[in-house]
Amino acid sequence: MLGAALAAAGHHITGVHAVSEASRERAGALLPDAQVLPPDEILRRSELVLFAVPDDVLGELVAGLAAAGHFVAGQLVAHTAGRYGTRILEPVRAAGAFPLAIHPAMTFTGMSLDLERLTDCAFAVTADEPMLPVAQALVVEMRGEPVTIAEADRTSYHAALAHGANHLNTITAQSMDLLRRIGVQEPGNTLRALMNASLDNALRSGAGLLTGPVARGDVGTVQAHVESLADDPQETADSYRTLSRATAIRARAQGLISEATLRELLGILE
């Protein structure tokens, strides 16, 4: 996807490496003029190399290519792993190339419509001070918004995104399951307006617009919720309790509920 965005910005794509049939199909759809080449050939011919691989394989892959002498002095080598900064690219630095970490805060489907999602998308950028403007410029070329993240903070950054985005999907799925259990045929339609408004409010105001029975201190309602979840999977009940506890603590910190109400809620949610 980022290769397609760079191509749209005017970069010539030397080649792509794609192993699975699905990845070859994506490469053909998004970069129809690019050759599918082995990594060593791409590295030999490119001024900028972009690694878009799973976080857990990045280090071993880069180390192996460096040990084989495939990186070129003066080359720009970027990766898109949210968890890592540039330290994982130390073998690249040792070869005289310049490491960059560029991670889009976005989820992709692998289809061309994803290019639209890059517009104004935030990218976490980590690089050595002299190379930071280069990394930022690449993001701007892809129509994104660069956000500088320190090397030591990359894992926290990635955890924040996973907690907010991935867990949102889990909570949504659990809520839809609850509605299906009681006979709602299109649970997404029931939740869509409410969840869109809630997410928009949260992103605009943080925890400043806490709503719902926990934030109001409706102890009886929360008790009834907990009891009703006995018919649902344990994971759903556990999620409800854990997030309700967190909400109750935030509500107390904002003065929305009293200390006594907080204790009552936490007792119910044990």
Q: What is the mean pLDDT of residues 173-194?
A: 96
Question: Per-residue pLDDT for 196 more than 90?
Answer: yes
Q: Which helix (H) or strand (E) holds 137?
A: helix 132-141
**Beta-strand relationship, 98-104 and 76-79:** parallel
3-class SS at 100? strand
pTM as predicted: 0.86
Give just the sign of the alpha carbon dihedral 59, 64, 67, 68. negative
Angle at which helices 219-228 and 234-253 cross, to 10°: 160
Give tens-digit pLDDT for 105-123. Answer: 988 766 666 778 788 899 9
| Residue 190 main-chain phi, psi, to 5 deg | -70, -35
CA distance 255 to 251: 6
Mean pLDDT of 147-166: 95
pLDDT digits (tens, 9 = 90+) for 37-59: 888 899 999 999 999 988 999 99
Contact 226, 237 (CB under 8 A): yes
Cβ pair 150, 17 in contact under 8 A: no
Q: Determine the pLDDT at residue 228.
A: 94
In this predicted structure, what is the pLDDT of residue 56? 92
How is domain 2-149 classified at the CATH fold level?
Rossmann fold (3.40.50)
Tokens of 39: 């990594």
For the record, the structure tokens of 40 come out as 């060593």
Residue 8 corresponds to which tokens in the numbers above?
């749209």
Reported as a single tens digit per residue, the pLDDT across 215-243 is 999 999 999 999 999 889 999 999 999 99
Cα 213 from Cα 238, distance rounded (Å) = 17
Q: Please report the pLDDT score of residue 31 as a whole number.
A: 77
For residue range 94-107, list pLDDT tens digits in order: 999 999 999 999 88
**Cβ neighbours of residue 115 under 8 Å, at least 6 residues apart?**
1, 4, 5, 8
Confidence of residue 34 (pLDDT cuts 50, 70, 90): confident
Per DSSP, 124 falls in state E
Q: What is residue 188's predicted lDDT score, i.e. its pLDDT?
A: 96
Query: For residues 62 and 88, is the Cβ–Cβ distance under 8 A?
Result: yes
